Amino acid sequence: MGGGMALLFAEHGVTVSLNDPSEETMDQLIATAKKDGLHDRLQKHGDYQDLCSSLGSPKVFIFSLPHGTVGDTVVEGLHPYLDQGDIIIDASNENWQNTQRRQGMGVSGGYQAARRGPSMCPGGEERALDIVMPLLQQVAAKDSNGNPCVGKVGTGGSGHYVKMIHNGIEHGMMSALAEAWQIMNQGLKMGYDEIADEFARWDKAGELRGTFLVSIGADICRQKDDQGRYVLSIVEDKVVQDVDGSEGTGIWSQLEAVRVHVPAPSLTTAHFIRIASAFRANRKQAKAAFDGQFSVQPWDEASGDKTAVLENLRRAVYAVFLGSFVEGLNVIDQADRENRWSIDYGAVTQIWRNGCIIRADYITDMLADIFKDRHADKDVLHHVQIAPELKGAFPALKEIVTKSVQHNAVVPSLSATLEFLKYSTNTLLPTQFYEAQLDYFGKHMFDLKSEPEGKPVTGKHHFEWKLA
């Protein structure tokens, strides 16, 4: 993505000084710039001293590197040539804890957006952000009103934290859409072009309007290779980015949800199916051990009222999308309280307007309205605008999950969101029995129904269920 961003800055009239361990990589980038008429705005430099001497004051560095210790190595290398007031921005897909101690900026939208205008999520010292913000606003993606999708998120590592949770939300949304695709393709026996038309309908109006993933879903279903084959038909069912180390944000977002004690099942379950998919050989071995697989069965509606099923499916996918946002925002809120980042949720919503994978116009319109008030409760599950939306989508979600269970469709995120809504709004959970079990064998104590709910702290009561 770093190369794409270099070209993007050059396209906006900025002279860019390049440094990379691979001179070949820099030469290729300059060759691309030449084709685009930008070659006079890119200059390569072989070492940090030469790089720094090419820059004015304050010097602004933006790097996009593999996550881990590489960023520390680069900062250490630059340090001897820095002056007070110089700014280093880590624009990698980096762990937020690393950018607690240096300026960080999450960048979304993939390599294509990096070249044409990404969504950017900077956090850190406000004085530094004030200096670079005009530059970032110039190159950032723009919403439908021409406003840049970049803003000061908060202090410390908040920028990368929000970007990390963005990716967790992204996983929940991607899984739900993939589950819907399988239902249409294997359950309703719809061809790729017909599915593409359905996705296009979803993207045009209603709760899923202006949703990036739905839009590209239509493109994916229609695309053919030079042999006339649907490209999707030859893609293996393996997602390996979490396992091969190339993508860390999905893992970190799940760990964070658990660490800050926020239920985020739509996100977490989506991650589990990614992991299971990566180990296809294991699945093949298990299939042999089971003497077959639990194949998706044709849905009766393939020859009946398919229109009603598809409308329920659209509403069910919307429930997962909105539920994923709710869960993700709850995780961000808890981390914000813990780290005192003073996150601007209005800025976050604007960042998610365009140029990012989780762009969803209907949802961000609601969130923008809610977060006009900076003091609004960040737990939006019970907000007057959000709760009716999820309640209204619940019957469709339940219907789709029920039929999926009956017909063996694989629906981890759809079913996880259904359960999330059930247990998050229920005051008669089976954990009543769960708590009694804990007290029986571990003397873990419990609260009484006659007492106020209070905070999640150890109860004051124990019953000697059986004498030791």
* Residues 134, 308: Cα–Cα separation, whole Å: 49
Phi, psi of 242 (to 5 degrees): -75, -35
* Residues 397, 323: Cα–Cα separation, whole Å: 12
Does the active-site annotation cover 59? Answer: no
Contact 328, 165 (CB under 8 A): yes
Q: What share of the chain is helix, strand, coil (3-state, %, to 5)?
A: 55, 5, 35
Does the active-site annotation cover 163? Answer: yes
Phi, psi of 150 (to 5 degrees): -155, 150
* Bridge partner list, 44: 18
Listed in sequence order, the residues at least 6 apart from 253 whose beta carbon sits closer than 8 Å to its beta carbon are 164, 165, 167, 168, 171, 264, 267, 328, 331
**Which one is catalytic: 170, 198, 247, 256?**
170
* Dihedral class, residue 265 (left if φ above 0, else alpha if ψ from -120 to 50, else beta): alpha
Distances (CA, A) of 352 to 141, 159, 273, 468: 10, 13, 25, 58
* Residues 360, 428: Cα–Cα separation, whole Å: 34
Residue 135 identity = L
Contact 77, 21 (CB under 8 A): no
- Helix, coil or strand: residue 110: helix
**Which one is catalytic: 44, 59, 152, 163?**
163
Q: Which residues are the active-site residues?
A: 163, 170
